[in-house]
Chain A
Amino acid sequence: HLNAKLSHCGVITVTLNESRLDNFPRIFSEGMNTLIGYDLVPEPKIVESALRACRRLNDLASAVRILEAVKQKAGPYKEIYPYLIQELKPTLTELGISTPEELGIDRV
């Protein structure tokens, strides 16, 4: 059931993040907010496609925001976020996205 939801999210996110929809950043933010609304932490490949969409939309701030949001989604399960970052490291380096921790905004 959870895997079905994850693959459903993956299909939706990857579809929404296709470049032909890049004239509509609103569609991306709506899709992202919906994904965050689900009771799950998105898989690394889903987050990756969201980050690539941010790149196409020339929106670094949203990319960082998405990393903050998935950390929030992990809730008390503190080991999920480091795993995500570890899996996303190649993408983050490729696109030049800094994590909230690297920017120092993970603290007040």
Chain B
Amino acid sequence: MLHLTTGRLGSLLARRVTAALSSSSVRMASHSHEVSQTDMSQPMYVDRLDIPLPDKPYKDNLSAEEQSLKKKEEGPWSQLTKEEKIALYRMMFCQTFPEMKQPSDEWKTVVGVALIFLGISGLVVWWQKVFVYPKTPRTFDEEWQAKQLKRMLDMRANPVEGFSAKWDYEKGQWK
């Protein structure tokens, strides 16, 4: 990862985004985390609190046992056992509402990675200070700054409400 330049990383990310958004069935040649490509032009199953009834059932290929349960569903539902009702639910849907609403620890990853990148930036800034920046101008030296301050006071800079107004000229100290 460290040997990738910013340019190549950017183009890699761009390729991933394009592949994810496109509906073509061509797989990315380099690496693909999906086992099969999702055809987004077909009805999709989705677990969402605001879409309680998705476009298609969760399970498409039903075993013989499941198919016979579906047949039984055409009759009176009071004849179904509790387990059968749960099985029918799980055939139609993946997660229940409480399962959808489960909190995750993703935020910790997000905050952690963000702080890591901030830390790396901090390291870069420090390294720049040590190895890149030229010496600070002489006007930053302690001695120069002291002389500059005295000169401002001698000139009576902002004597009414600002700088020199805060200096006690009799006692020779700040008020």
Q: Which residues of A contact B (CB under 8 A)?
A: 26, 28-29, 32-33, 36-37, 55, 58-62, 64-66, 68-69, 71-72, 95-98, 100, 102-108
List 15 A-B pairs, Cβ < 8 Å. A32-B52, A36-B51, A58-B73, A59-B73, A62-B92, A64-B85, A65-B89, A96-B76, A96-B80, A102-B82, A103-B82, A103-B86, A105-B89, A107-B98, A108-B96
Number of A-B contacts (CB under 8 A): 80
Question: Which bucket holds chain B's interface residue count?
Answer: 20 to 34
Contacts of A58 in B (CB 8 A): 73-74
Contacts of A108 in B (CB 8 A): 96, 98-99, 102
B153 located at the interface, meaning its Cβ lies under 8 Å from any Cβ of chain A in the complex: no
Q: Which residues of B contact A (CB under 8 A)?
A: 49-55, 73-74, 76-80, 82, 85-86, 88-89, 91-93, 96-99, 102
Contacts of A71 in B (CB 8 A): 97
DSSP majority for the A interface? helix
Contacts of A100 in B (CB 8 A): 96-97
